[in-house]
Amino acid sequence: MIAAASDFLMRPALTLSSLPLFPLGAVLFPDGTLPLRVFEVRYLDMIGKCHKAGAPFGVVCLTHGSEVRMPGASEDFCDIGTLASITELDSPQPGLMHISCAGAQRFRITHRERLKHGLWVAEVQRIGDDLAVPVPDDLQGAAEALHQLIHTLESRNAASAPMPLRRPWRLDDCGWVANRWCELLPLPLELRQRLMTLDNPLVRLELVNDLLARHGILH
């Protein structure tokens, strides 16, 4: 059973048996990046504790409700999410944090509970990493197009905004290539979530390849 709010807040470290959740109108993929502007009290406290303990939190995709808590409003979210580790944290003023996160393993929620101050915590089971599947010849176009896009982004961002992708580039791996395109393409949130939850990285890349053709990126 998940601990009570007072017990949770007193813990020096956070574990996957009481994983704090951050419901967002976004989908985080393994090895992906996610910048966040944090200002709600429930998340300021949670992020501060996670950063201090070097512990992850869970990013889950909202299916109902708003990212910002509204009085009397309810919120719901998907059962499959992604662990996020904080890679950068800046607090330019009291009550505001700018953080950058890296996506780690996916997880499945087995039990969830909302604490008195509005923070969701959950018991979760980790989902295994994608198997390393080489990109087959008939899908090489997706990998080559991503390589070209990375080169363009590196040229544009050399002295300005940070890259939206994290090294190392694994352009020979089906899951990595598919995940990066899922982040970069203008996809509906529901479709992005469905692609993230797929267990087979080759199938994910095949679907992404079709989407690239629809968007005119591949011919």
Domain at 5-127, CATH class: mainly beta
Tens-digit pLDDT profile for residues 204-216: 999 999 999 999 9
Q: Is the peptide bond before 168 cis (omega within 30 degrees of 0)?
A: yes
204 close to 195: Cβ distance less than 8 angstroms: yes
Residue 4 has pLDDT above 90, yes or no: no
State mean pLDDT over 76-103: 94
- The residue type of 128 is G
Which one, of 31, 180, 57, 177, lies nearest residue 119 by Cα? 57
Rounded mean pLDDT, 1-19: 48
Please give the CATH number for the structural domain made up of 137-214: 1.10.4060.10
- Give the residue with greater pLDDT, 3 vs 121: 121
Are domains 5-127 and 137-214 of this chain identical in fold? Answer: no
Q: 124 falls in which pLDDT band (50, 70, 90)?
A: very high
Query: Which residues lie closer than 8 Å to 155 by C-beta, 6 or more apart?
Result: none
Average model confidence (pLDDT) for the chain?
88
Mean predicted confidence (pLDDT) in 53-82 = 88
Overall average pLDDT of the 170-187 stretch: 97
Over the stretch 15-42, which tens digit does the pLDDT of each residue have? 467 899 999 999 999 999 999 999 998 8
Mean pLDDT, to the nearest integer, of 65-75?
Answer: 75
- Residue 74, pLDDT score: 81
Please state, in angstroms and rounded to a whole number, the distance separating the CA atoms of residues 36 and 123. 24
pLDDT band at 72 (very low <50, low <70, confident <90, very high): low
Instruction: Give the C-alpha separation, 177 to 175, whole Å.
Output: 6
Of 12-16, 69-73, 139-143, 185-189, the range with the lowest mean pLDDT is: 12-16
Stated pTM of the model: 0.87
Domain ranges of the chain: 5-127, 137-214
In 10 A of CB 76, how many CB atoms? 11
